[in-house]
Structures are given as structure tokens and as C-alpha cells.
A and B are shown apart, each in its own frame.
Chain A
């Protein structure tokens, strides 16, 4: 077992070591494998033998050795195939490890851009980011995503092949591409966070760890990009969401909606950090979608109770969000907020066009919000039918359970 201290250290060093190797040798594919092996070696040796004085140099040295071994065996294999004796001595390309070579500040950034390359689908981007930048092992990622280790290993291998085939290089994207590539990086970190946050406790603890990993990587991203308001916005959104963790599920793992959560169980220190981050970012940055969502979360976080929520402020923020990032899912949340200000019928009117949008038609969240608003409008029969429609459409067990309970409540307590 790795100690938490060693584990944290290894995860911090992972992208630095990979950066050093890729800068020296190119060959992201082979370097990434070599670093993974060095991390595994450290995870087994350090807890027993103690952390070396220069842990990063240790890792660079071991990873470089693995890389040369790999090249030698690869070369030997090729040589055997063509039956030519190898005369050249070593591999001059491999410089002796310059042990004190500092990591370049933007190595981690370049790695993030590489792992979130547009040639990859989002699940491949996520897996590769967690391994190459997060320093997680394939086994850990497989456990977190509830798939067998060979499946995850293959997904990572395929992702690396695609990146190579796409001719991606270990450089920062051009200014023309930068915004779009950065959006992809932020989205991947957001996906990792959500995967962990939505996991229920108990059986799914491995997934819950993803939340901490996403926050750690986003913190790092924000440190590297202090001038990017969206990096700060995403970090704030994660913190403000994660602050609800203790209150979001009941003793039996049942989901508790925001309006019914015990706010004394919210993590105040985390909320303060999140509120400060987004407030500060919005003073100088043009508002991006993550900042606005964080601002909405901040309004909820600062309300002493659900009834005392500043709904007009939330409606105004949703209006901004709908303008800068139009999306039917935004409209859905906006409708729920409008209902709190102008009444449920006003909210329901906003939902009507979403039945014609293929992104939301038949979606369980549309039915769930509609059910809630119908219930507020005292239309119990239609509300119950909508809760049941939402329960049928969701693929989440805790959500289905919550929605069925709501439907049952309307059937009985008259």
C-alpha cells in the first residue's frame, strides 16, 4: 500500500517528470509508459526505503532507464528480424539524466493540451489526462470508471496512438486554437469532477476520489493560467458544488435536493474560498460560462435557507448564461429559477419549446423540472405523471428512486 504522503508527492511529480522526458526525447507514447513504470516502482520502494533526497531526479532517472531498456529491446527485436548484428554501443540519443534540470513551468499545461487533443473522444481524453497529468495508475482509473483494467489500459493505449497519428506535438496551442483547446481542457476536468461528485458513498468511494483529483488539477491549471477567468470560475464552481457533499445524500444514500439540504452541513470554508475566487475573477474577466455557473452556486451558498434565496439575482445570472452559452439545459435550469420569481406557470411556459429540441425532448431532467413546477402549480395529477416519466427516462438508480418517491407522495398524501 502506498502512503498518502508518497501518493500525493507522486501525483504532483508525475507531469513534471513526463514533461522532462518528452522535452528530451519526444515520443510521448513511450515516455508516458516509462513514467508510469517509474511511478509504480516508486510507489512500491519509497514507503519501505524512504523517499529519496531528490525524488524528481530519482523518477527521471528510473523513467529514462526504462525508456532506454525499451529502445534496446525494440532495437534488438528489429535487429533479430533482419538478422543484423548490432555494433553501435549505447544510444547516444539518451543523455545522462541531468538530475537537477528543473521542470519547465508550462510542461503540465502542454501535457493537459496534449491529453485533451480534439482527435480524442471525451472518455479517452479523461483517461489519458488522469494518467499522464494526474499520475493515477491504469488500475486506479479503471476502478474509478467501473471498467476492467484491460479495457482502460486499451483505451489509454488507443488514445496515445491517436494523438501520435494526429501528429500532435508537445507545444502550447497556437493563439488561434488556444481558446477552443482550453475549453476542452476545462470540460475534461469538469467531467472528472462530476463523475466523482455524483457517485454515492460506500460502494463508490473510488469514484468519489475523482472529485479531489479534479479540484487538484484545476487548482494547478489556475496557478498556471492566472489570467484566465474561466480556470478560476471552474475551480470556484467545483468548490461550491463539493461543499454540499455531506448534505446531498441521506443516511440510506438517497438524494436530497438543494432546497431540502441541511445547510449547517455545508462546508463553509470551501464555500468561502469558492465565493472569493469567482467574485475576484468577475471583477476583471469577461464572464464565461463556468464563472456564471459559479456565481449562481455562490448565490445559493450564501442564502441562509432555500426560502431566503435571492431568486431574482439567480434569474438574472441565468439570463447572462443563456446569452453567452445558449443551451437547452441552461433554459431548463432558468425555467426552474423563473418559477420561483414569476410563478410556476411562467417557468412551465419556458419549458414548452424544449419538447421540440432533440437535445432535451424525452430527457429525464426536462420531465423532472416540469414535474416540480406542476406540483408548485398544484396540478398534482400531471405532476405525478411527469415524475413517473422522469423516473422511466433516467439511467441513474438514485435519481430513479428519488423521482419514484416524489410520484408516490403525490399519489397518496391528499
Chain B
């Protein structure tokens, strides 16, 4: 079963950390990615650019569409990246999410979302 782990954190929190703290976090990410690669659970993942670089396409007030600068949701936490994993149980997906440094050190949250399957059984 595939799950997308959506990483939400406070933009710029890394800037407030010391170099050792930052290195420690990157080290933790490397450890998790290595483990997920070796177990054959990692399907993919990416980090996203700073939210200030975001453009949002939306319906325009007077009909039609418009492109605006900035993210869709104005909130303290922003969508920062994702991991796609394929694992045996939803509990395992949640366990991976809970091990992510953002969660462990209080910088953000991870949402665990099941990915829809193209297959189905007749009801």
C-alpha cells in the first residue's frame, strides 16, 4: 500500500538553528532515507523550494483564471516536501512519519495520506 507523507513545517526554521543542529537534522534524514531505500519501501520524495517562490493558479473573481504570487494557504506551517513510501501497513507508514526530524524536534508535522489505487474489486 502506498502512502504519501506530507511534510508541513515553519518556513525559515532552519535559519534559526546552529550549524551543528542543522547537520544533525540532515544526518537524521540521511539515516531514514538509507533505511527506507534498503528496505525497498522508498518510492520517491522531494523537498520543495521556499514558499515565497510559490505561484498559485486560482479562479478569478470576475470569471476565468488568474495566477497570484504566494501560497494558497496563509498559515504558519507550509507544505515543504513529501516522501512516497510503499509499506505493509498504515501503522508502518505512521511510524516512518513519526521518526522524521521535523516531528521529533517540534519543527512541524507529517500528514500520512493513503494513495488511491487504480485497481478495485466488484462490490
Contacts and interface: CB of A to CB of B under 8 A. Distances in A.
Interface residues of B, number: 22
Given A195-B119, A255-B122, A158 B38 contact: yes
B123 A198 contact: no
A159 B122 CA distance: 32
Contacts, number: 88
Do most interface residues of chain B lie in helix, strand or loop, or is the interface mixed?
Answer: loop
A399 B88 CA distance: 21
Given A124-B40, A158-B38, A158-B40, A151 B120 contact: no
Interface in A152-204: 152-159, 194-195, 197-200, 203-204
Contact of A396 (B2, B42, B88, B117): B117
Do most interface residues of chain A lie in helix, strand or loop, or is the interface mixed?
Answer: helix
Contact of A397 (B37, B39, B118): B118
B37 A154 contact: yes
Contact of A399 (B1, B43, B44, B120): B120
B116 interface: yes
A155 B123 contact: no
Nearest to A371: B123
B117 to A, nearest CB: 5
Interface in A204-236: 204, 207
A398 interface: yes
A287 to B, nearest CB: 24
A147 B86 contact: yes
Interface in B76-123: 86, 88, 114-123
Contact of A147 (B38, B43, B116, B117): B43
Contact of A395 (B37, B39, B117, B122): B117
A256 interface: yes
A14 B42 CA distance: 28
**A interface, size bucket:** 35 or more
A148 B44 contact: yes
Q: Which of B2, B39, B121, B123: most chain A CB closer than 10 A?
A: B123
Given A151-B40, A158-B40, A395-B1, A198 B88 contact: no
Contact of A255 (B41, B43, B120): B120
Q: Which of A154, A200, A261: most chain B CB closer than 10 A?
A: A154
19 contacts: A123-B88, A146-B2, A147-B86, A154-B37, A154-B39, A159-B40, A194-B121, A203-B118, A204-B118, A255-B121, A255-B122, A258-B122, A261-B122, A395-B1, A395-B115, A396-B120, A398-B118, A399-B121, A399-B123
